[in-house]
Amino acid sequence: MQPDFAELNRFLLDCPPFDQLSSEQRQWAAGQIKAAYLNEHNVDELFSAHSPALYIVRSGGFDLLAPDGTLIERLESHDLFGFPSLLTGRDVVNKLKVIEDGIVYILSAATFDQLRQHSRAFEHYFIRAHEQRLLSQQGQRSAPFSPQNAPSSPATPDFSRAEGRAALSNASGDSLQCLVGEVVTRAPVGLPSTATIQEAAQRMRDEKISSVLVVDEGKLVGILTDRDLRNRVVAQGLDYNIHVNAVMTQAPATVRGGQTLLDALTLMTQENIHHIPVLDDNEQPLGMLTNTDLMRQQKSEPVMLISALNKAPTRAALVQEAQHIPEYMHRFGLRLNDAAAVGRLLASLTDTMTRKLIDFYEREHGVAPAAYVWLAFGSQGREDQTLSSDQDNGLLLANELNEQQLAWFAGLGDYVCEGLAECGVPKCPGNIMASNPDCRRTKAGWLERFTSWTESPTPKALMYCQIFFDSRNVRGSKRLYQAYREDVAKLGKSEFFLGNLARLQANVQVPLGLFNRFRGTESGKDSDLIDIKRHGLALINDIVRLYSLHAGLTEPRTLTRLQLLQDSKLLNRKDNQALAEAWQFLTQLRLQHQLAVWGTAKPKNALDPDELSTLTRRQLKSAFRILKDCQQGVSLKFGRSG
């Protein structure tokens, strides 16, 4: 059967990698293509007549099966198969099962080879696709099916690590993605802890630096900055001959040379510091990174924005500076095109504004009367905020406070939450904020609440747990927070609680229906829309949180949780990697959608799949298939415990 040439040419234009061919190459390819109508009666005969060849699904639905009957991939319109044999010269061994009759386009081996020779992009597409197919099949062989390692979704050619790395590489033009080790080129300047304060000051003068590393036997033990000399030595009238270990900052925050500048900026913002030592993988000092280095690399943009927020002298000035954040983040998102980086930077900005508001409150009402922690929950806690994220925060207080102390913290909660709202961070519709007495508790009070949730996991309790188990210390006592978080982690390991949490997650519908077709989650003006936050990203966060609770982890970030779970007995490495890739893709897709609807009344998390490119639709279906299979795995592993 010969297809209509004009219609076929339009189809190929929307079918990667044919869209990367020149117009002449694509038209030539269209002239070489044959079409066949496939049903269960003629499928084997057709393959015998044409293999090896590249096959392109025009309509219908098919399952590509390995010789042992294992499903490799569910195929539908625009999907490609047959290329592994064309690339390797090996015999065709896979089988095709017809799920729904349809039309398949056939490209001969000779035509395929001609296109490979004349288009590098065309050839690389299939090389990457083949690599990913091998990785997927290898993972299936090494991890036989069991409730402990239920397989994740079959990989598709487009949803691969190779393309993920390429996307990251393309995004990395922004200097926040540069590695710290590439920026820190000056050899470390260090002194032993037994050096005198005068010797340290002289060394800093001679080297023209504002900080020095304190190193004993090759290991970093502290840092001495010009601020330390000013505040801890000169202002206190200390003898310049005492040792630096008496005034240095001990066990300072550090970054690795292999981390990005964004990692460094985030940590420096969280710790409110201007110098941070850089270490190699063996804990050996590589040098020092300063705010000046960041400003030089970043041409003043995010660093200057955070600096402007930090330097705001009043609440009104802070609110005024915060008005620049949405427009800046829009430009930053368009330029960087890295959703994870955008989320972390937004969380850093919210953290900075929170700390400044706490400073203003303490300036008016005196310092905190007891140990406390300002907690970030939800997206701020996970550092995956968007411009549409609202507040989720609370206060962790020391036990046994009197009424006057409690009143001070009540005022703090009201002041900061109102201030954040003025700065553009909306109040939480569910009132999960430190201004709510229910979110302002002593350690004993919080543990009592978590105990109630885990022992009596009602639907409402489970909903709260999805928020409150993702927490982070924004400001306050590190010791108090660590003790609280470790106790909370112990409560979260309850098998009864995890079983109920697993059943809740199993009830979330993944927007993929019969024959691998999209299923809308809400009605739009002209078609059904898919909420990729609730039915995609949130579900991944929920699944990863479940495994993290089982493992007793206290880390809130989804990707970091997956890294820590790499040796988990319940979540095998293949599923771990699949969840990470799906999270990254969906996060990126949501960012692109939010940038596209910027300044309009269109929903920020719900999109129309018909408006996506063919490649993006494939990737979205791949992500949803991963979620479906991981949902099944969660039910098998935890569902019986509830």
Quote the pLDDT of residue 639.
Answer: 72
Quote the pLDDT of residue 139.
Answer: 41
Class of domain 300-491: alpha beta
Q: Which of 191-200, 264-273, 447-456, 573-582 has the lowest mean pLDDT?
A: 264-273
What are the C-alpha distances in Å from 341 to residues 172, 253, 604?
10, 20, 18
Considering 84-93, 158-167, 514-523, 550-559, the range whose residues carry the highest mean pLDDT is 550-559
- Helices 573-596, 325-336: axis angle to 10 degrees equals 120
Residue type for position 32: Q
Evaluate if residue 406 carries a pLDDT over 50.
Answer: yes
Mean pLDDT within 359-381: 95
Evaluate if residue 292 carries a pLDDT over 80.
Answer: no
- Give every CB contact of residue 600 below 8 A, 6+ residues apart in sequence: none
Among 563, 543, 382, which residue's Cα sits nearest to residue 472?
382
Higher pLDDT pick, 103 / 521: 103
Quote the pLDDT of residue 131.
Answer: 58
Q: Which of 301-315, 316-330, 393-407 has the lowest mean pLDDT?
A: 301-315
- Tens digits of per-residue pLDDT, 180-208? 888 887 889 999 999 999 999 999 999 98
Residue ranges of domains in the chain: 5-134, 183-289, 300-491, 492-641
Percent of the chain residues topping a pLDDT of 70 = 89
303: phi then psi, degrees, rounded to nearest 5: -65, -40
Quote the pLDDT of residue 126.
Answer: 85
Query: Could you confirm whether domain 183-289 is CATH 3.10.580.10?
Result: yes
CA quadruple 49, 55, 56, 57: dihedral, nearest 10: 60
Quote the pLDDT of residue 184.
Answer: 85
Measure the CA–CA gap between 107 and 29, rounded to whole angstroms.
8
CATH of 5-134, one of 1.10.10.10, 3.90.25.10, 3.40.50.300, 2.60.120.10: 2.60.120.10
Burial (0-12, 13-18, 19+ Cβ within 10 Å), 226: middle
Among 327, 313, 325, which residue's Cα sits nearest to residue 349?
325
Q: What is the DSSP letter of 155?
A: P
Quote the pLDDT of residue 159.
Answer: 40
Confidence of residue 317 (pLDDT cuts 50, 70, 90): very high
Percent of the chain residues topping a pLDDT of 90 = 53
Evaluate if residue 368 carries a pLDDT over 90.
Answer: yes
Quote the pLDDT of residue 548.
Answer: 96
Among 606, 592, 585, which residue's Cα sits nearest to residue 330?
592
Q: What share of the chain is helix, strand, coil (3-state, %, to 5)?
A: 55, 15, 30
Evaluate if residue 492 carries a pLDDT over 60.
Answer: yes
Length of the chain: 642
CA quadruple 591, 596, 600, 605: dihedral, nearest 10: -40
What are the C-alpha distances in Å from 62 to residues 45, 71, 263, 335?
16, 11, 44, 40
Kindly report the pTM of this predicted structure: 0.70
Query: Could you confirm whether domain 492-641 is CATH 1.10.3210?
Result: no
- Tens digits of per-residue pLDDT, 137-177? 444 433 332 323 333 333 333 343 333 333 333 333 356 66
Q: Which of 37-41, 88-92, 450-454 has the lowest mean pLDDT?
A: 88-92
- Tens digits of per-residue pLDDT, 49-106? 888 999 999 999 898 888 888 887 788 888 899 988 888 888 888 889 999 899 999 9
Is residue 229 within 8 Å of 209, Cβ to Cβ? no
Please write down the HEC assignment for all residues of 247-300: CCEECCCCEECCCEHHHHHHHHHHHCCCEEEEECCCCCEEEEEEHHHHHHHHCC
Is residue 160 within 8 Å of 582, Cβ to Cβ? no
Strand 190-191's sheet: what is its strand order?
A: 190-191, 211-216, 219-225, 249-250
Average pLDDT over the chain reads: 86
Confidence of residue 541 (pLDDT cuts 50, 70, 90): very high
Considering 2-16, 154-168, 292-306, 324-338, the range whose residues carry the highest mean pLDDT is 2-16
- Give every CB contact of residue 407 below 8 A, 6+ residues apart in sequence: none
